[in-house]
């Protein structure tokens, strides 16, 4: 009796899925869940099985809700990934066909080792089935679509890399500013109904090993792979006759038929466009293309020089002056100066005493807003005036810029308590690094100081040190009514100072580079947005190694913020400090390692006593005695 040879494989070829992108994303989610050992892997596997059986293409994740095992959570994940996919590849990117980037096989082969699958050849040997081997997949390299966010970032970093005197990296603010003309989407404002911007593509570039993110604040640079791809993109753009990366024709721009480079900025006045919305949002494209052309940009005029791109690079010449491009502008007459009061100043403790300050402000006719401030008790913002739009329930969200003045209010009893528990030094440290240049300590008397646990002379000395050593402005008041009067006078003074100024926004990363003019003579100034300021001042946010070392040092008695900053200036991490101790030849050299470091405005030495204390802390093995 003859035995027929056994045939492996399916009788009919499996049809291609009409939703390859959704399958790919679900498979990735399942694999990640499987690696973590969570039960979500089974949820995703059920969704994959349902999607494999569905024969029609889906436009978005919401449509997938009709399928079994697709809940609101999975549908939202798919919609979010789809929005990011469109942001990175353009709104016309295909989602129902993936020629070379098909998703990985969703089922592993169950064929035992050594066995093969597929039909037999005429010679009786099994023919290997193409593309059935696990772990082998033909993929294509990631190439961002022209004028997408990824394309603009790569080309901008490549051009910076080619520039003489390049630092080899760019900050987020610099990269967004320089890349915006090369991209059709905004790097800072998302499209209506989406939370993704052109900047969302940066995460993909990092994942694809094209971009490297280091330091804090972040610095972005190209990897070897990214440099190679960016060079190809730049060459391709040059071949198409668009070396600047701009579209072939733009509305309102004369066509250059002679092949020469036209200077479109010639004859332009260095003046921002009028706010066409009369207080409404300024279009991002307007806020990006025109203001950066002016020689010197928008700062206070003395700090910004002409563009040095055409001059010869010299190692002795300082780097080109920073030219700021604002995210948005508040013109005179389109904003109000508002006093912001931390909600802790109105709640908790004695409610009658807390409400007394607010009551006095109302009596004085001060426009104030109670909100959560992550640092300080009072500050002032320039809040945009917005108007209700017919047919909408609420007015548009008002944009806000923070003025350079911030107030920390301390009653004498609170000052005593904060010195004892260490809050006093920590609060001063946080106020000095919050980004606002004019911190104020409002010290309010509170009855007799005889019953306090610290002598009054010591408290007064702490107040004097805050002004002389730390550089804070000190305002003494007799009671809460006088404190409210001071805040009222300050509010009206700032209203008169800023009412005729043009205010330009900046991020916290840009703040150190901006010439922040706020003198009465200047017609414009650069200020941080309130969201950037308050987010950056979160007390328990993730900290860098440098910040952690600073907090450690400030726990040592005698080390102020200035002394800690001076030590960090020479040894930025604990590793570098310990390495320096290891390199000292003797114990005496270790103890004197930090004694010569100068700190503060007077540039005094830290001294041998404090240097020895720090050395004992970090170099002693075991408990300190």
Please state, in angstroms and rounded to a whole number, the distance separating the CA atoms of residues 180 and 39: 43
Q: Which of 160, 342, 511, 562 is catalytic?
A: 342
Q: How many domains does the chain have?
A: 4
Residue-level pLDDT at 253: 33
Would you state the structure tokens that stand for residue 432, as one six-digit string? 């000095």
Q: Do 107 and 175 belong to one domain?
A: no
Q: Do 132 and 184 belong to one domain?
A: no
Per-residue pLDDT band at 157 (split at 50, 70, 90): very high
Residue-level pLDDT at 240: 67
Domain harbouring 63, CATH code: 1.10.150.110
Helix 423-432 × helix 561-570 angle, to 10°: 60
Q: Do 448 and 523 belong to one domain?
A: yes
Would you state the structure tokens that stand for residue 143, as one six-digit string? 């190439």
Question: Which among 66-70, 258-262, 405-409, 556-560 has the top mean pLDDT?
Answer: 405-409
Domain harbouring 427, CATH code: 3.40.50.10130
Q: Which of 492, 488, 472 is nearest to 480 (CA)?
A: 488
Cα dihedral across residues 614, 617, 621, 625: positive or negative: positive
Residue-level pLDDT at 428: 85
Q: Do 90 and 239 belong to one domain?
A: no
Taking residues 263-275, what's their average pLDDT?
33
Q: Are 508 and 532 in contact (CB under 8 A)?
A: yes
Taking residues 305-317, what's their average pLDDT?
39
Q: Do 157 and 122 belong to one domain?
A: no
Ordered DSSP codes for 444-466: E--S-STTSSS-HHHHHHHHHHH
Which residue range forms the structural domain that includes residue 168?
142-243+283-293
Q: Do 550 and 522 belong to one domain?
A: no
Q: Are 476 and 443 in contact (CB under 8 A)?
A: yes
Residue-level pLDDT at 2: 54
DSSP state of 345: G
- Count of C-beta atoms within a 10 Å radius of residue 231: 16
- Checking if the pLDDT of 298 tops 60, the result is no
- Checking if the pLDDT of 406 tops 90, the result is yes
Question: Which among 258-267, 499-508, 516-525 has the top mean pLDDT?
Answer: 499-508
Any domain includes 428: yes
Any domain includes 307: no
Helix 545-554 × helix 561-570 angle, to 10°: 140
- pLDDT tens digits, 552-579: 888 888 888 788 889 998 998 889 999 9
Q: For tokens 């798919």, name the residue.
A: 78
Phi and psi angles of residue 594, each rounded to the nearest 5 degrees, phi first: -95, -5
Any domain includes 518: yes
The chain-wide mean pLDDT, for the chain, equals 75
Domain harbouring 217, CATH code: 1.10.10.10
- Tell which wins on pLDDT, 51 or 249: 51
Q: Which of 80, 127, 231, 345 is catalytic?
A: 345
Secondary structure class of 516 (helix, strand, coil): coil
Q: Is 274 a catalytic residue?
A: no
Residue-level pLDDT at 470: 82
- Checking if the pLDDT of 601 tops 90, the result is no
Residue-level pLDDT at 625: 60
Residue-level pLDDT at 581: 92
Any domain includes 455: yes
Residue-level pLDDT at 249: 34
Q: Which of 245, 71, 57, 269 is nearest to 146 (CA)?
A: 245
Domain harbouring 564, CATH code: 1.10.150.670
Would you state the structure tokens that stand for residue 327, as one six-digit string? 């995210």
Q: Which of 377, 400, 510, 511 is catalytic?
A: 377
Taking residues 508-514, what's their average pLDDT?
72
- Tell which wins on pLDDT, 548 or 308: 548
Per-residue pLDDT band at 337 (split at 50, 70, 90): very high
> H helices of 261-411, where?
284-289, 351-363
- pLDDT tens digits, 203-259: 889 888 899 888 767 889 999 899 999 998 988 877 665 544 444 333 333 333 333
- Checking if the pLDDT of 73 tops 90, the result is no
- Checking if the pLDDT of 261 tops 80, the result is no
- Checking if the pLDDT of 316 tops 90, the result is no
Q: Is 318 exposed, middle or buried (0-12, 13-18, 19+ CB in 10 A)?
A: exposed
Q: Do 127 and 146 belong to one domain?
A: no
Final residue of a structural domain among 140, 162, 179: 140
Q: Do 502 and 421 belong to one domain?
A: yes
Q: Do 200 and 103 belong to one domain?
A: no
- In sequence order, what are the beta bridge partners of 503? 330, 525
pTM exceeds 0.85, yes or no:
no
Tell me what percent of the residues of the chain surpass a pLDDT of 70.
71
- Checking if the pLDDT of 310 tops 70, the result is no
Secondary structure class of 266 (helix, strand, coil): coil
Would you state the structure tokens that stand for residue 620, as one six-digit string? 């002693």
Conformational region of residue 203, where left means phi above 0, alpha means psi within -120 to 50, and beta covers everything else? alpha
Residue-level pLDDT at 99: 47
Q: Do 6 and 92 belong to one domain?
A: yes
- pLDDT tens digits, 85-141: 888 888 888 887 654 444 444 334 344 444 444 444 434 444 444 444 444 445 567
Final residue of a structural domain among 231, 266, 293: 293
Any domain includes 125: yes
Any domain includes 259: no
Contacts of 44 (CB under 8 A, 6+ apart): 26, 27, 29, 30, 33, 74
Any domain includes 5: yes
Q: Is 345 a catalytic residue?
A: yes
Q: Do 99 and 184 belong to one domain?
A: no
- Tell which wins on pLDDT, 274 or 238: 238
Query: Which range, of 287-296, 524-533, 593-602, averages the lowest pLDDT?
Result: 287-296
Q: Which of 195, 171, 194, 191 is nearest to 183 (CA)?
A: 191
Final residue of a structural domain among 115, 140, 165: 140
- pLDDT tens digits, 18-41: 888 898 889 889 888 887 778 888
Contacts of 145 (CB under 8 A, 6+ apart): 88, 89, 90, 93, 151
Residue-level pLDDT at 420: 82
Would you state the structure tokens that stand for residue 14, as one six-digit string? 């499996």
Any domain includes 253: no
Q: Do 555 and 432 belong to one domain?
A: no
Q: Which of 339, 337, 334, 333 is nearest to 385 (CA)?
A: 334
Taking residues 313-319, what's their average pLDDT?
42
Helix 574-583 × helix 545-554 angle, to 10°: 70
Q: Is 342 a catalytic residue?
A: yes
Q: Which of 303, 278, 510, 542 is nearest to 384 (CA)?
A: 278
Please state, in angstroms and rounded to a whole number, the distance separating the CA atoms of residues 45 and 278: 53
- Checking if the pLDDT of 381 tops 90, the result is yes
């Amino acid at each position: 009796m003859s035995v027929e040879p056994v045939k492996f494989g399916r009788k009919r070829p499996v049809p291609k899925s009409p939703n390859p992108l959704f399958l790919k994303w679900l498979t990735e989610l399942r694999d990640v869940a499987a690696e973590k050992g969570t039960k979500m892997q089974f949820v995703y596997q059920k969704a994959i099985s349902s999607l494999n059986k569905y024969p029609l293409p889906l436009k978005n994740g919401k449509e997938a809700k009709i399928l079994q095992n697709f809940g609101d959570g999975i549908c939202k994940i798919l919609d979010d990934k789809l929005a990011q996919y469109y942001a990175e590849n353009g709104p016309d990117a295909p989602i129902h066909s993936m020629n070379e980037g098909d998703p990985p096989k969703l089922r592993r082969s169950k064929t035992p080792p050594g066995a093969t699958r597929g039909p037999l050849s005429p010679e009786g040997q099994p023919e290997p089935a193409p593309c059935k081997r696990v772990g082998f997949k033909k993929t294509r390299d990631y190439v961002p679509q022209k004028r997408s966010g990824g394309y603009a970032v790569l080309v901008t970093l490549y051009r910076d890399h080619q520039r003489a005197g390049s630092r080899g990296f760019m900050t987020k603010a610099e990269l967004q500013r320089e890349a915006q003309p090369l991209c059709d989407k905004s790097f800072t404002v998302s499209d209506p109904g989406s939370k993704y911007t052109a900047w969302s593509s940066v995460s993909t570039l990092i994942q694809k090993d094209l971009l490297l993110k280091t330091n804090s604040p972040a610095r972005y640079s190209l990897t070897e792979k990214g440099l190679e791809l960016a060079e190809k993109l730049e060459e391709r753009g040059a071949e198409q006759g668009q070396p600047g990366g701009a579209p072939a024709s733009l509305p309102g721009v004369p066509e250059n038929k002679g092949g020469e480079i036209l200077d479109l900025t010639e004859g332009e006045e260095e003046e921002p466009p009028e706010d066409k919305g009369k207080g409404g949002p300024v279009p991002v494209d307007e806020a990006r293309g025109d203001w950066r052309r002016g020689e010197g940009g928008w700062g206070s005029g003395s700090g910004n020089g002409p563009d040095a791109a055409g001059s010869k690079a010299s190692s002795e010449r300082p780097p080109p002056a920073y030219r700021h491009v604002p995210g948005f502008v508040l013109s005179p007459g389109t904003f109000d100066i508002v006093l912001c009061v931390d909600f802790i100043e109105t709640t908790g403790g004695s409610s009658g005493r807390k409400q007394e300050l607010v009551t006095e402000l109302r009596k004085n006719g001060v426009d104030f807003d109670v909100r959560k401030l992550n640092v300080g008790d009072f500050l002032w913002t320039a809040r945009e005036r917005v108007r209700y739009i017919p047919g909408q329930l609420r007015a548009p969200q008002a944009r806000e810029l923070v003025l350079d003045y911030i107030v920390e209010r301390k009653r004498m009893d609170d000052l005593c308590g904060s010195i004892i528990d260490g809050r006093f030094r920590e609060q001063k440290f946080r106020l000095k690094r919050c980004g606002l240049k004019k911190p104020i300590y409002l010290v309010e008397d509170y009855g007799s100081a005889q019953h306090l646990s610290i002598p009054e002379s010591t408290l007064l000395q702490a107040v004097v040190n805050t002004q002389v050593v730390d550089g804070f402005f000190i305002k003494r008041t007799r009671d809460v009514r006088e404190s409210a009067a001071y805040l009222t006078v300050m509010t009206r003074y700032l209203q008169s100072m800023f009412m005729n100024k043009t205010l330009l926004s900046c991020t916290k990363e840009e703040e150190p580079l901006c010439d922040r003019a706020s003198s009465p003579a200047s017609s414009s100034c650069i200020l941080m947005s309130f969201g950037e300021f308050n987010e950056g001042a979160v007390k328990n946010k993730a900290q860098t190694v440098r910040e952690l070392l600073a907090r450690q040092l400030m726990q040592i008695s005698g080390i102020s913020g200035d002394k800690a900053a001076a030590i960090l200036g020479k040894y930025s991490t604990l590793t570098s400090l310990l390495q320096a101790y290891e390199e000292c030849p003797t114990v005496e050299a270790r103890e004197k390692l930090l004694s010569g470091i100068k700190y503060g405005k007077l540039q005094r030495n830290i001294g041998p006593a404090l240097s020895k204390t720090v050395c004992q802390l970090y170099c002693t093995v075991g408990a300190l005695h």
